[in-house]
Amino acid sequence: MTSPVEMDIKKESRNYLDHISLDCVVFGFHSNQLKVLVLHMKKTGEWVLPGGFVYEDESIEVAANRVLKVRTGLDQIFLRQFNVFSDPQRSNRNPTVADLLMSGQDHPEASWFNQRFISVGFYALVEYSQVQPQPDELSDICEWVNLDKIGKLMMDHNAILNKALETLRLQLTFQPIGYNLLPEKFTMSELRKLYETIFGKELDRRNFQRKMLAYDILSRLDEVRQGVAHKSPGLYKFNLESYQKALDEGLNGKW
């Protein structure tokens, strides 16, 4: 059975904008590990980031949300555009989309896929447990991989991933993060571990807690984490009104 994604690619490429594509870095957090959603291509065995093309009658933001809904099953994803990738040789480093799709067939639209594409990069933050990874007809696996286990990706996707991580780390210096990556209720140590994983370094426990509470984006709950061997830690949740204000205006203080 042909998937909606393959139908889009094979039958409707004439309705896409020429020379424009998008690539998405989807971050999740699970078991104290930052994870990235990747796909394994059937024809070449290579790993790629989720991506797609832009219809003539939609914005690139709408296209990115459409692509990620297919891959994750989620609506209303936290999504940010972070860079444009325009190396003239970026599509020539590996087998092209046409090679993967047509598999040597004389397809009338192969030349369209073989043209140069400038890609707009987006990164998404999602709650790991809510994602239902979906491969398509071009891939046989769509799964989470630990950030430190990511190997060689197709084309310039490693550079795209690295730039997304760099941008995410920069966001941490002036905007809050965590609402889209953590469950609704979490401990301060779980939040700290998320920041440590993204920054790639340890943070002082007391200083971290002091800073986070000073930002006034957390609400302390009258609940504790059950089922732990030591003293049960208190639980927090984000104050969404304050969190959104901090996203719009920036945090009151820097790391």
pLDDT 10s digits, 83-106: 999 998 886 655 545 454 444 444
Mean pLDDT of all residues in 157-179 = 93
27-85 pLDDT, tens per residue?
Answer: 999 998 999 999 998 888 899 999 999 999 999 999 999 999 999 988 888 999 999 99
pTM: 0.84
Q: Does residue 7 contact residue 72 with C-beta atoms inside 8 Å?
A: no
Q: Does residue 53 contact residue 17 with C-beta atoms inside 8 Å?
A: yes
Q: Does residue 222 contact residue 169 with C-beta atoms inside 8 Å?
A: no
pLDDT recorded at residue 18: 85
Q: Does residue 52 contact residue 68 with C-beta atoms inside 8 Å?
A: no
169-217 pLDDT, tens per residue?
Answer: 998 888 999 999 999 999 999 999 999 999 989 999 999 999 999 999 9
Q: Phi-psi bin for 216: left (phi > 0), alpha (psi -120 to 50), beta?
A: left
Distance separating alpha carbons of residues 188 and 26, to the nearest angstrom: 24
How many of the other CB atoms lie within 10 Å of CB of 187?
17
- What the chain holds in terms of domains, given with CATH numbers, is 4-172 (3.90.79.10), 188-249 (1.10.10.10)
